[in-house]
């Protein structure tokens, strides 16, 4: 799962219990997981621009949450504890950005995102809100360091889109395995097919899959001798 859900305030994009019953109750395994885990608390972040979300995502790639937050915090400290705008980011030399803890590859990717925001390839929040999910994916995956998973996280946790199923996410696949009682995680294509019936609330389903995966990790960490 992503390092953490975006903090409030934000737009709660989770369906109501009535919506959940309509979409999920026909699958006894999914409904049992929902009843066990409780209400979905998935939120979009109304205050974040797509450009800013992409910078944060790139900074955190292949890092644990605390390290990712520290690096991004140092980057923001260069502009008085706010996310640097595109021109501000491009004005920093490589040595300064490396001093924040960013690798060369991440610096190249961030600069590419900044340039793309300036020339319009990365939409503003207002522009993105007018685009459908797949259009946003197609626009952004052309950027270096930005894959489909990164854009899907932006769709869910920044733009608050309710019908995203990140089939390549291992946590989602593992959570689905646990929910359904499978011996092994399903392949991404199969996961997409099996979860298509839960549209238009697949973002919530992904959230429950992440929670189910976390339950499995906690159970595995229990010492069988001490509990």
**CA dihedral defined by 11, 16, 21, 24, rounded to 10 degrees?**
10
Question: One of 27, 169, 183, 221 is an active-site residue; which one?
Answer: 169
- Residue 11: CB atoms within 10 Å: 13
Q: In angstroms, rounded to a whole number, what is the distance separating the alpha carbons of residues 49 and 195?
A: 29
Helix, strand or coil, per DSSP, at residue 43: strand
Q: In angstroms, rounded to a whole number, what is the distance separating the alpha carbons of residues 39 and 105?
A: 39
- Find the helix or strand (DSSP H, E) in which 19 lies: helix 17-24
Q: In angstroms, rounded to a whole number, what is the distance separating the alpha carbons of residues 127 and 151?
A: 15
Residue 19 annotated in active site: no
Residues whose CB is less than 8 angstroms from the CB of residue 221 and which lie 6 or more positions away in sequence, other chains included: none
- Return the active site residues: 169
């Amino acid at each position: 799962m992503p390092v953490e859900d975006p903090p409030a305030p934000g737009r709660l994009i989770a369906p109501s219990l009535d919506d959940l019953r309509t979409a999920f109750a026909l699958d006894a395994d999914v409904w049992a997981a929902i009843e066990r885990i409780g209400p979905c608390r998935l939120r979009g972040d109304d205050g974040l621009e797509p450009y800013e979300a992409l910078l944060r995502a790139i900074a955190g790639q292949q890092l644990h949450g605390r390290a990712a937050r520290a690096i991004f915090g140092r980057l923001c400290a260069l502009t008085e504890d706010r996310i640097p705008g595109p021109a501000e980011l491009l004005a920093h030399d490589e040595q300064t950005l490396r001093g924040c803890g960013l690798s060369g590859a991440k610096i190249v990717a961030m600069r590419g995102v900044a340039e793309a925001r300036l020339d319009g390839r990365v939409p503003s929040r207002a522009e993105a809100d007018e685009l459908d999910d797949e259009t946003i994916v197609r626009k952004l995956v052309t950027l270096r360091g930005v894959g489909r998973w990164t854009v899907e996280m932006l769709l869910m946790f920044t733009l608050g889109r309710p019908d995203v199923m990140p089939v390549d996410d291992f946590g989602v696949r593992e959570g689905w395995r646990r929910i359904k009682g499978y011996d092994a995680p399903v392949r991404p294509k199969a996961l997409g097919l099996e979860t298509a019936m839960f549209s238009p609330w697949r973002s919530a389903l992904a959230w429950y899959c992440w929670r189910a995966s976390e339950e499995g990790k906690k159970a595995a960490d229990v010492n069988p001798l001490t509990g």
